């Protein structure tokens, strides 16, 4: 397994729209393993392939405290959603920034698993928010895109300053 490099806002590649995967091949499974390892190492609870500059519709998530319940979603789709919720969200591509975003409270998700089989399930609470956040990444959308332009500009300046300091 290998650690992948996580892109940071305002990297323009975070705006790429990812393409569906034709088949869950050995190569895709290896990619999912590398993404999971990268996410645990960061550490984070979700990672979309877009964030590691791979324009494919792949997501890994683990919201368990023990970090032993990975969820692999290939070509995920939200087929039904209801209710409203919000929670303070963060993102490995926007380090140190937290903000609340309006999300659906409950979603029904259809995706391929790591075994290539179709899975359909209902998610709510933190898991539902996390899946919506990660699917947004596959569509080139960041959680800070829901904030006001003024606030986003402020975040951009802050992160650019941090990046200069760490070089």
List residues binding Zn ion (CB under 5 A): 91
Residue with Cβ nearer Zn ion (104 or 135): 135
Q: Is 134 among the residues known to form the active site?
A: yes
Position of minimal CB gap to Zn ion:
91
Residue with Cβ nearer Zn ion (12 or 26): 12
With DSSP H G I counted as helix, E B as strand and the rest as coil, what are the percentages for the chain, rounded to 5?
A: 35, 25, 35
Residue with Cβ nearer Zn ion (27 or 48): 48
Out of 27, 108, 120, 134, which one is annotated catalytic? 134
Contact present, 42 and 5 (Cβ < 8 Å): no
Query: CB of residue 51 vs Zn ion: minimum separation in angstroms?
Result: 6
How would you classify residue 132: left for phi > 0, otherwise alpha for psi between -120 and 50, otherwise beta?
Answer: alpha
Query: CB of residue 8 vs Zn ion: minimum separation in angstroms?
Result: 11
How would you classify residue 106: left for phi > 0, otherwise alpha for psi between -120 and 50, otherwise beta?
Answer: beta
Give the catalytic positions in this structure.
134
């Amino acid at each position: 397994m290998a650690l992948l490099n996580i892109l940071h806002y305002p990297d323009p590649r975070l705006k790429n729209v990812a393409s569906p995967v034709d088949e869950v091949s050995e190569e895709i499974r290896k990619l999912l393993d590398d993404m999971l390892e990268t996410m645990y190492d960061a550490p984070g609870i979700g990672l979309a392939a877009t964030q590691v500059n791979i324009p494919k519709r792949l997501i890994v998530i683990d919201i368990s405290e023990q970090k032993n319940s990975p969820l692999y979603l290939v070509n995920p789709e939200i087929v039904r959603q209801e209710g409203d919720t919000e929670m303070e969200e963060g993102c490995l591509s926007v380090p140190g920034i937290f903000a609340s975003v309006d999300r659906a409270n409950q979603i029904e998700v259809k995706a391929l698993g790591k075994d290539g089989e179709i899975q359909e399930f209902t998610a709510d609470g933190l898991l539902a928010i996390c899946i919506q956040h990660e699917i947004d990444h596959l569509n080139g959308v960041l959680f800070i895109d829901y904030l006001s332009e003024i606030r986003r500009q402020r975040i951009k300046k802050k992160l650019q300053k941090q990046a200069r300091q760490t070089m």
